[in-house]
A and B are shown apart, each in its own frame.
Chain A
Amino acid sequence: MDSRSDAQPFGVYVHVPYCARACPYCDFDFAVDARPDGAALIGALGRELERREDVRRGHAPRTVYVGGGTPSVLAAEDLAGLLGWISASWDTRACAEWTVEFNPEHVDEARLDAVCGAGVGRLSLGVQSFDAAGLRQLGRAHSPAQAVRAVEAAHARGLHVSLDLIVGWPGQTLEGLRQELDQVLALSTEHVSIYALTIEPGTPWERLAERGVRRLPRVDDAADAISCCAQVLEGAGLCHYEVASYARPGAEAVHNSGYWQGRDYVGLGPSAASARHCGGGVVRSSNARGADWWNGEGGGVETLDAEAAAREALWLSLRLLEGVQVDALLARVGRDRAWLDERTARARARGNVEVAGGRLRVAPGRWLHHDEIAADVL
């Protein structure tokens, strides 16, 4: 690995591939296991660390993110063990942000002790809904009251909270959604992520819909829902800084923003993705999924040349709604203004992106068409 790359700030992502139960919409990599063997996971992660040469062991990552699956399904001592293993593998003392994903029903004193003891500063809570009917549809194990108590307990320990909400599920009304958002605002979480429910191929929900047992979400309802969220949350002073993310000023997610800003990251665990920028290009790799990872098998590697990396950087930088300094972007990807004009010609002609004050950004309100913009600039 070249030294230039080594010097760049990077993030660490660790994937915990267990869930207590399967959510019908989810296509992430997980195994259903209510009492997973934490020691086995740490052992396997350790072997991956030994095996790989690109993990910058011992270096100081800018951010750490422990996701899943459901990391909080680990027992408190296993969670403490995993976080301790991370601190032993990298220098986490100067971390700008360390986040662990939690399900509300797992927030208890013992696990909070574990995260606080390790130096974790932020919980990403998979609340998904404050509506009991919504939680049932989404297959979640917790109640709205549990979600409220979880946020309050985390706040009581001085942790920042990011709250995930899934909207646009069949049967959700805008009025109901507004009540959920009132609840979100009442809890004063630092960060909110809003996802419109999408049913991926191969998920249980899709099969249930094929059998007529469940409805599929409608795209117009989803548009109404995410627009409503933007209006309410921005009205309450949260900043809509990324397509799916809202934050109190200064509480924007550092680790996830790194994905959009073209930073390096190292992913460990099944299906985890890594990225390394060097020589104008990007090397993106992802670990094997499921049993293959446990057997020590490698995953896929994709090397993007400078042009492909530049197009990708253009798309990713537009995820952040404040946009990107044109000069800085072009310098980073080694392209000129003519290149940018050509790549963005269609999106600009449609009024979807604009250049203002030296910044390129998605035009107001057009974040709803971000995939269309992406397809245009890629």
Chain B
Amino acid sequence: MNARDKNRAIVPTAPDNSLIRTFCIIAHIDHGKSTLADRLMEATGLLGERDKQDQYLDRMDIERERGITIKAQTVRMAYTAKDGKTYEFNLIDTPGHVDFGYEVSRSLKACEGALLVVDAAQGVEAQTLANVYMAIDNDLEIIPVINKIDLPSADPDRVAEEIEQMVGLDALDAIPCSAKSGLGMEDILEAIVEKVPPPTDDREGPLRALVVDSWWDSYRGVISIVRVFSGRLKPGMDVKMMSNDSVHDVLSVGVFAPDMVQLEEIAAGEVGYLIAGMKELRDAKVGDTIVDAADPNPEALEGFQDVVPMVFAGVFPTDNADYPTLRDSLGKLTLNDAAVTYEPETSEALGFGFRLGFLGLLHMEIIQERLEREYNLDLITTAPSVMYQVHLKDGTMVEVDNPARFPELGAYEYIEEPIIVGRIQVPQEHVGVVIKLCEERRGTQKDLTYLTETRMQLTYELPLAEVVFGFFDQLKSRSRGYASLDYEPGGYRRADLVRLDLLVNGEHVDALSLITHRDTAFYRGRDLCVKMKELVPRQQFEVAIQAAIGTRVIARTTVKAMRKNVTAKCYGGDISRKRKLLEKQKKGKKRLKAIGNVEIPQSAFHAVLSLDGD
């Protein structure tokens, strides 16, 4: 019996809703969510010893390596409880990072309960709290779980108190556990049975199913995760998507347990996958409602807000010949990640490429890494920018997300920049440094409250651009890792901004232009020149690096000429060895980008990012 058959044997289908429990796990990044999911699967017999592989649900290599969850996943388990009944558990695993908050919000809509996992040493963090509030808004039953209680630094009593004071949940209910050792798993499973309410959906009503997530599979086409709120979804049915009225033939439905297992139906109250021969991801838009094509009175469920990119960056192939490959790769990659937007961009310095929109910096890093790794591309990513609203003299407004396309000084009346409302949680003793950081980043304090006796929450309005450049890293390092941040868009605000240009031996490098506040332009220009001096390798001739606003140069550094590039040694006629060394050197050079006759490494295009590493 192979693994799949074995799994098929244990996939439960509850005869009625009273035996179904659908829940997700809410946790801050690194608090052990994916490990806990692994343990629950083991405890319910879904994963055997030989399946052991950390973070089972994180299917992408990049998720495992970084130890994070990017895409939501679902899995169905059978659990025979102390009351003797066997329950159908539907677990939805969700990402923990602030960039992927939208994935969490979708998952919550499909659940009746949530495990709130809090690290016994670190306590409640901002992102956790934001997700808990979201869960409470969605009327979810929340089961607090204190994880990692076997760590020497664990302080479960303090954390329980935090949960009570900050989240408003009864700390007596908090279940201590260790996902690493498996301690407390049964308590958690029993609590799910007892506390998470069964779905109240009507299995005999008209079909209403919500698309929670969709992705592209090269063998099966579009695969969607759906939650059925009413009726039944079966193969052979014709279904209609409410958003575009397209009709599709249901080919297969089923669940992940943890591999794909086909079932006869997904009934109201259940979560599962749907394959309906859709050729394009837009036919399975996340948040859309699926109804029976023959339904005379179709009604849409409440969907999700569209995801809006917050951060933009140019992505260029190091070798211009790779442009078509990059274009095709983006086409494929966005099939799996609808949150990425892209459009063609041309740079004088970098040639043909694309302007990509991301949810945040981590998202940007992940996309770049996936492009390089999964599609074997060698890329240059420019420093990220945000979307500015430029109000021109003629009274019109244009949106500009690329500093290189920013209008010249004097061509506009004023500029508005995007603002975020950030909530920062920090132990009292670190409040000072956090306030200082926010002030440096042009923040406006909106609120300051005590969450517990020792923990505070600061609410600041901050320009998004200031948050994009290293804010998070600074927040972490200045607060010794104790501060955490959650944010949401807060509209646009007028600001005195200028474009700062960088010149290399007199050549304007459009891909290195950045938008900055006039008051900090001088310091930024100086820091950028200093940073570039470190990053530009010495060439055969001297290289001048200048920062300028318009035609006015405000800072300059010089990269001294490389005076010698010769190694005389060529031992005993071992030409092969010497040639291989030279070929290696040549290969390294191919990764450089020529600006005029100056060769610049990819890392230089990130110089702007590391400016605030003070």
Q: List A residues at the B interface (Cβ < 8 Å).
A: 13, 15, 28, 67, 193-196, 198, 219-220, 222-224, 226-227, 243-244, 259, 265, 267, 271-275, 284, 286, 300, 302, 312, 315-316, 350, 352, 367-372, 374-376, 378
Which of the candidate stretches B160-168, B271-279, B380-388, B562-570 sits at the interface with the other chain?
B562-570
Tell which of A198, A219, A243, A374 has the most Cβ of chain B within 10 Å.
A374
Q: Complex formed: what's the CA distance from A271 to B566 in Å?
A: 23
A159 CB to nearest B CB, Å: 21
Check if B576 sits within 8 Å of A286, measured CB to CB.
yes
Of B562, B563, B567, B574, which contacts A286 at CB under 8 A? B574
Choice from A286, A316, A368 contacting B566 with Cβ under 8 Å: A368
A378/B564 contact (C-beta < 8 A), A67-B572, A265-B573, A316-B575 known: no
Provided the pairs A196-B564, A223-B564, A226-B564 are in contact, do residues A273 and B573 lie with their beta carbons within 8 angstroms?
yes
Most chain B beta-carbon contacts within 10 A, residue among A219, A272, A372? A372
Q: How far is the CB of A224 from chain B (nearest CB, A)?
A: 8
B582: which A residues are within 8 A, CB to CB? 315, 371, 374-375, 378
Of all chain A residues, the one with the shortest Cβ separation from B567 is A198
* Interface membership of B597, Cβ < 8 A: yes
The reply to whether B563 and A195 form a contact with Cβ atoms under 8 Å apart is: no
Hey, which chain A residues are within 8 Å of B566, CB to CB? 196, 226, 243, 367-371
Report if A13-B572 is in contact (Cβ < 8 Å); known contacts: A374-B582, A375-B585, A378-B583: yes
The answer to whether B563 touches A371, judged by C-beta atoms less than 8 angstroms apart, is: no
| A195 CA to B574 CA, complexed, in Å | 17
State in angstroms the CA–CA spacing of A338 and B570 once bound together: 30
A369 to B586, CA, bound (A): 14
Q: A259-B573, A375-B582 are in contact. List 19 more A-B contacts (CB 8 A).
A: A13-B572, A15-B572, A67-B572, A194-B568, A196-B567, A198-B569, A219-B562, A222-B564, A226-B566, A272-B572, A273-B572, A273-B574, A369-B564, A371-B566, A371-B567, A371-B582, A375-B586, A376-B586, A378-B579
Asked if B442 is at the interface (CB within 8 A of a chain A CB), the reply is no
Quote the shortest CB–CB distance from B590 to chain A (angstroms): 10
Note all chain B residues with C-beta closer than 8 A to A315.
579, 582
Shortest distance between the CB of A143 and any CB in chain B (Å) = 25
Chain A residue nearest to B568 (CB atoms) is A244
Please give the number of chain B residues whose Cβ is less than 8 angstroms from any Cβ of chain A in the complex.
24
Most buried by A among B562, B574, B586: B574
Nearest chain B residue, comparing its CB with the CB of A350: B540
- For residue A314, give the distance in angstroms from its CB to the closest CB of chain B: 12
A304 to B218, CA, bound (A): 41
The answer, yes or no, to whether B571 is at the interface (CB within 8 Å) is: yes
B567: which A residues are within 8 A, CB to CB? Answer: 196, 198, 371
How far apart sit A271 and B582, CA to CA, in the bound complex (Å)?
20
Instruction: Provide the residues of chain A in CB contact with B565, threshold 8 Å.
Output: 368-372
Q: Does B589 contact A (CB under 8 A)?
A: yes
Closest 8 CB pairs of A and B: A244-B568, A223-B564, A223-B563, A375-B586, A370-B566, A273-B574, A372-B565, A284-B576
Determine the distance from Cα of A198 to Cα of B571 in the docked complex, in whole angstroms.
Answer: 13
Which residue from chain A places its CB closest to the CB of B590 in the assembled complex? A375
Contacts of A244 on B, CB cut-off 8 Å? 568-569
Inter-chain contact A219/B589, CB cutoff 8 Å: no
Task: Type the 1/0 row for B48-76, where 1 means its CB is closer than 8 Å to any CB of A.
Answer: 00000000000000000000000000000
Return the chain B residue nearest A67 by Cβ: B572
Complex interface: chain B residues within 8 A of A259 (CB): 570, 573, 575
**A28→B571 contact, CB < 8 A:** yes
Alpha-carbon separation in the docked complex, A243 to B566 (Å):
9
Please, which residue of chain A has its CB at the minimum distance from the CB of B587? A375
Within 8 Å CB of B569, what residues of A? 195, 198, 244
Bound: A28/B570 CA distance, A: 11
Contacts of A195 in B (CB 8 A): 568-569
CB nearest to A273 among chain B residues? B574
Given A219-B564, A370-B565, A267:B579 Cβ within 8 A: no
Contacts of B583 in A (CB 8 A): 375, 378
**Beyond A367-B566, A371-B566, is A267–B575 a contact (Cβ under 8 Å)?**
no
Bound: A220/B565 CA distance, A: 10
CB neighbours (8 Å) of A13 from chain B are 572-573
Whether A302 lies near B576 (C-beta < 8 A) is yes
Contacts of A273 in B (CB 8 A): 572-577
Most-contacted residue by chain B among A67, A300, A369 (CB, 10 A) = A369
Can you name 27 A-B pairs with beta carbons within 8 Å?
A: A67-B572, A193-B568, A195-B568, A196-B568, A198-B567, A219-B562, A223-B563, A227-B563, A243-B566, A244-B569, A259-B575, A272-B572, A273-B573, A273-B574, A273-B575, A273-B576, A284-B575, A315-B579, A316-B575, A368-B565, A368-B566, A369-B540, A369-B565, A371-B567, A371-B582, A374-B582, A375-B582
